[in-house]
């Protein structure tokens, strides 16, 4: 075996690459890959938000009679979608205990930011019904036949499902269309749980209207920026799976120093460390540990690459 082959064989995996995902910015999704469950790290309030969700759905049997909207709010890169995926997965399991079958339908990519609310709702609704049809979960096709008319289709939907079937629908991000959330709250009828997300603050007026729009008030979850030690915790957790000596650890306070003084979301750290370890794992002479200097150097080099490729 020559040196090149040996190098290939011994090259460690990037601990910040997520199993089954092709991009460094894709969120954790245990619904698709159960292995992701062990990768959640309690940072930026996500753990508390998840606990709040579990509390709200500890006994999900009320979903037989009512639907509910779960709204996750927080800035871009703060882990909203990862939290939603975790909640959806957990709810699916929890429903089983209540003798219900949870069907997770992801329509997050079905509507664009720059479309009107009516168009977005129509597209999301049609995609939902198409996917349900594809999975053959309809007891009656009436709702499917009305899939081009969101009002009709969504109102008929509960009656077209088997009585033990609960839909867990992941909606397209609403961003600043907070009015849309009021509509989705009303759309979440019995045996339907809608997950929505927004990066924008919800005006009080909208929050009040959402509370009144559905049979049950929405569940509000919030994630935010990293706390001072969160980035370090995150890095340690990820690196814990690395065989000793294969890759250098991050020095104790290196990330704390990097994230203090400004708004840093977990997405930024994930991407930064992914890129940094992507280089470390292929280079022969690795440092003993990743210091503040290494992190800054990598950050500046990434930014510098944008400078070089300015249009």
Partner 1 sequence: MDAEDLDLSGEVNPYPSSAVAQIADAGSTVVTIETPAVRRAVSMMEAYLAARDNTDHTPSGRVVAAVGDYGTGKTHLAAYLIRYATDRHAGAVQSMHLNAPPDTFVSLYRAFADRLGQRRELVHDRVRRYYADILAEELRASEATLPVAEQLASGALDPVRVVDRLSLMESEFLRQLRDRLRQVTDNVEFSQALTLLLRGGFEDAVWEWFSGRPPAEVLRERGITGTITGSESTALQAMGVFALLIGHGAHPFIVVIDELDQLLTAAGRREDEALDAFKEMLRVFAASNTFLLLAGLPDLLSSMRRDVRDRIDEQIVMSPLTAAEVQSYVLERQRGRLAPFTEQTLAYVVELANGVPRGVISLCHRLWRRARDQRSTVTHPMVRQVAREFYDATGLANVQGEIRQVLVASGYDTYVPGHLVGGTEDTRVDYWVPVGSEGAGCAILLAEPLLDEADVTGVQRRGQAIRAHADCELLLVVLGPPPVRFHDQLLEALGREALAYRPRSFVDQFAVEFKAMVARLEERYAPEGPLTTLAPQLARLDRRQSATQHMITLLAGSLDDLRGHYDQQLNAIHRELHEIQRGVSGGSADAPGHISVVTTLPAPVVQLFDDAFVSVDLMTPTRELLRRTFLDDDSGRTARQAVRSRIRLSQVQAATGITALLNALIEAFGHALVDWYRTVRSAPDGPLDVRHRERLDDLCRIFDAVYDYLPLYELRALRELVGQAGTAQQQEAEDVLSDFSERVHRELLSPFGTAER
Contacts with partner 1 by CB under 8 A lie at 25, 75-78, 112-118, 175-177, 179, 199-201, 225, 257-258, 260-265, 267-268, 270-272, 292, 295-296, 299-300, 302-303, 305-307, 310-311
Of residues 60 and 74, the one with the C-beta less far from partner 1:
74
Q: How far is the CB of 79 from partner 1 (least distance, A)?
A: 12
Compute the least distance from the CB of residue 188 to partner 1, in Å: 20
CA-closest candidate to residue 188, choices 82, 14, 24, 65: 65
Smallest separation (angstroms) from partner 1 to the CB of 271: 5
Q: Which is nearer to partner 1, 21 or 137 (CB)?
A: 21
The DSSP secondary structure of 244-282, one letter per residue, reads TTTSPPBPTTHHHHHHTTS---HHHHHHHHHHHHHHHTT
- Alpha-carbon span 227 to 266, nearest angstrom: 10
- Taking the complex as a whole, the smallest distance from the CB of residue 307 to partner 1 amounts, in Å, to 6
161 or 221: CB nearest partner 1: 221
- Please report how close the Cβ of residue 194 comes to partner 1 at its closest, in angstroms: 19
| Identity of the residue, 85 or 259, whose beta carbon is nearer to partner 1 in the bound complex | 259
DSSP letters spanning 118-186: HHHHHHHHHHHHHHHHHTT-BS-SHHHHTTT-HHHHHHHGGGGB-TTEEEEEEPPP-TT-HHHHHHHHH
Q: How many whole angstroms separate alpha carbon 258 and alpha carbon 28?
A: 24
Comparing CB distances to partner 1, the nearer of 68 and 225 is 225
Q: Which residues contact 110 (CB under 8 A, 6 or more apart)?
A: 123, 124, 126, 127, 172
Q: Which is nearer to partner 1, 30 or 77 (CB)?
A: 77
First to last CA, the chain: 45
**Smallest gap from residue 118 Cβ to partner 1 (A):** 8
């Amino acid at each position: 075996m020559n040196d090149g082959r040996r190098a290939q064989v011994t090259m460690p995996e990037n601990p910040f690459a997520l199993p089954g995902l092709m991009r460094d910015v894709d969120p954790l999704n245990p619904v698709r890959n159960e292995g992701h469950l062990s990768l959640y790290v309690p940072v930026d309030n996500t753990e508390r938000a998840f606990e709040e969700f579990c509390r709200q759905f500890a006994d999900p049997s009320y979903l037989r009679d009512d639907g509910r909207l779960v709204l996750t709010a927080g800035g871009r890169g703060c882990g909203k979608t990862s939290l939603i995926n975790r909640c959806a997965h957990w709810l699916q399991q929890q429903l089983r205990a209540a003798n219900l079958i949870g069907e997770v339908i992801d329509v997050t990519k079905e509507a664009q930011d720059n479309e009107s609310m009516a168009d977005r709702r129509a597209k999301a609704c049609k995609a939902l019904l198409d996917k349900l049809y594809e999975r053959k979960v309809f007891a009656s096709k009436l709702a499917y036949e009305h899939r081009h008319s969101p009002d009709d289709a969504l109102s008929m939907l509960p009656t077209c499902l088997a009585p033990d079937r609960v839909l867990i629908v992941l909606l397209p991000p609403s961003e600043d269309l907070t009015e849309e959330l009021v509509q989705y709250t009303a759309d979440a009828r019995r045996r339907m749980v809608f997950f929505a997300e927004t990066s924008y603050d919800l005006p009080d007026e909208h929050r009040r209207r959402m509370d009144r729009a559905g049979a049950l008030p929405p569940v509000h979850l919030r994630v935010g920026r990293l706390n001072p030690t969160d980035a370090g915790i995150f890095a340690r957790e990820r690196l814990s799976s690395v065989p000793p000596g294969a890759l250098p650890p991050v020095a104790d306070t290196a990330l704390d120093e990097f994230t203090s003084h400004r708004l840093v979301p977990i997405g930024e750290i994930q991407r930064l460390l992914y890129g940094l370890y992507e280089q470390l794992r292929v280079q022969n002479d690795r440092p003993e540990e990743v210091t503040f200097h290494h992190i800054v150097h990598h950050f500046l080099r990434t930014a510098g690459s944008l400078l070089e490729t300015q249009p």
